[in-house]
Chains A and B, each alone.
Chain A
Amino acid sequence: MPANRFNNFTDYGIGIGLRATHYDHILTRKPVCDWFEIISENFMVDGGRPLEILDRILQQYRVVQHGVSMYFGSADKIDREHLRRLKALVQRTNTPWLSDHLCWGSVDGRYTHDLLPMPYTFEAAKITAQKIREVRDYLEIPLVVENVSSYAEFHVSEMTEWEFLNEVVERADCGILLDVNNIYVSSQNHSFDPEVYVNSIPADRVAQIHIAGHSKYRKYILDTHDHPVIDPVWKLYDRAIQRAGHTATLLEWDDHIPTFNEVHDEALKADKFLASASLATAV
């Protein structure tokens, strides 16, 4: 199932996150890269160099937007100025789908700029799904939500994280950006079996997959996006691909960023899993 309604029936392959440190390499060398994921908020500005760079990238490459501050799970109302700027960017990039996180990060108009974990309650699922629907209706493109890494759990939770994810996407009728590194990080921090998580998500809603590295501390793992992908995460990726089929895949690398080629080579390791999935589908 390479293309579905949640990724606008596209068949994107392996991409990497567009980062400022690689601008010069990309614009001068024009390396082959199937697509780039941009952080929407970095380009929701009125003009200047960010938009000039973006326009030059758009002349050569396919771009998908990924947001970090829509906060679908926040009890606050949607920020209309945020939406207005986001829609202008969507029209500029022609992103086939748009992703943001299943989390919250602001309350009473104050922003933490973090991806804070949700309490897994039916009330939270209902509020979150309603906001996803509102944003999708305004933007008029498919929306997908990404599971986040977390370091805390709430007493009030009424279900597991994957049950909550399923509850939200069913209520909102939206897609999933499955971050297998985040599943691994949270599984270690909360002592659950990550494969149960991957096996529990509705595969037909997976529009995109994220892979990344992380940092291990003595008592917990932090989602830092500053290392190569580790084998247990590749194993989860393999399982996700077996279930969802050939899916648009993106490597995130946000800190201590190596050269473009090193990042791209790390991302292309996903190829062998995608190839075996394609083979299985063909058979």
Chain B
Amino acid sequence: MKLQAIQRRMARAVMTPLTPAERMRNVSPRGRSMHAEASSFIKANDRLTSFERLEIYNRQYWFRMLSAMTDDFPGLRAVLGDRSFDALSKAYLRDCPSTSFTLRNLGSKLEAWIRKHPRYAATRQQLAIDMVRLEWADIEAFDGESLPPLQAENLTNANPATLRLKLQPYARLLDLRYPVDDLLLAVKGKNQDDADFASNAFSEKHRRKRVAAVARLKPAPIFLVVHRADYFVYFRRIEREEFHILSALRAGKTLERAIGGAFRGSTIPVEERAGNVAQWFHSWSALGWFCLSGN
């Protein structure tokens, strides 16, 4: 048997889902006896059958993958509960096995997969999607690229009609239907008392609520920037208009067009808008969200 053929057979067996008792299945998804399959390419020894030797790798694979999912998506687990999260993770991994050399990317297709398979999130599909988007943004913001921040002197004589500001590649913009930032912070046990300028300490009343209570979130649209300061990831809530300006800038629009389009349908009084924009740009610049080049 050639190398590639052996590797395909072993990988197929190793990646086959375990039984509910976390053992290797007796019958493969193709209907073949796994005992016969294992015996066909793996030797038995004086203590273990071919099946038992292959099972060691089968179990290790699933324990490793499920552990990675639990590490990366604690918020989704809180939303769904342990059993549903486990079922969702197994189904996702069966459909979307890792295609990257790093486990960091294991959950990169999870949002799209949940959209296609809503039954795994039952009545909480939108909440689950919002949480997955936030948790994936958290991963991307943690180790995303950082470029030199824009300085005031870089803008000397800049014309708003032609100026295109770039956002830091690590910053992620999210429009969410549920306030899942609260939930994720609670799940992660982050101490919101430490919240400062970089994070928004917006909801003091929620601080001591238990995760279980927060998991029953009601819809309440929010806009977030998942960003980084001093190498730590923060979730900063922003106004709808801020979100539109930043999204337009990320899409490559000029400063003038980005601001011009941000206030359509806005409830912010016209006379306050200029002051708001100045304040927002001051905050964004102080947080280093603009950079010289890239994205």
Contacts and interface: CB of A to CB of B under 8 A. Distances in A.
B144 A112 contact: no
Contacts, number: 128
15 contacts: A46-B145, A47-B144, A48-B228, A107-B11, A110-B11, A110-B15, A111-B101, A112-B15, A112-B61, A112-B98, A116-B14, A119-B3, A155-B40, A220-B47, A220-B48
Interface of B: 1-4, 6-8, 10-11, 14-15, 40-43, 45-48, 50, 52-54, 56-57, 60-61, 64-65, 97-104, 141-146, 169-170, 228, 231-232
B45 A190 contact: yes
A155 B102 contact: no
Contacts of A49: 142-143, 231-232
B54 A152 contact: yes
A158 B198 CA distance: 61
Given A45-B104, A114-B64, A219-B48, A152 B143 contact: no
A11 interface: no
B2 A111 contact: no
B42 A154 contact: yes
Interface string A187-204: 001110000000000000
A79 B101 contact: yes
Interface string A45-66: 1111111100000000000000
A108 B60 CA distance: 20
A107 B47 contact: no
Given A46-B169, A114-B14, A156 B6 contact: yes
A23 to B, nearest CB: 12
Nearest to B6: A119
B11 A47 contact: no
A178 B10 CA distance: 26
B15 A48 contact: no
Interface string A162-205: 00000000000000000000000000011100000000000000
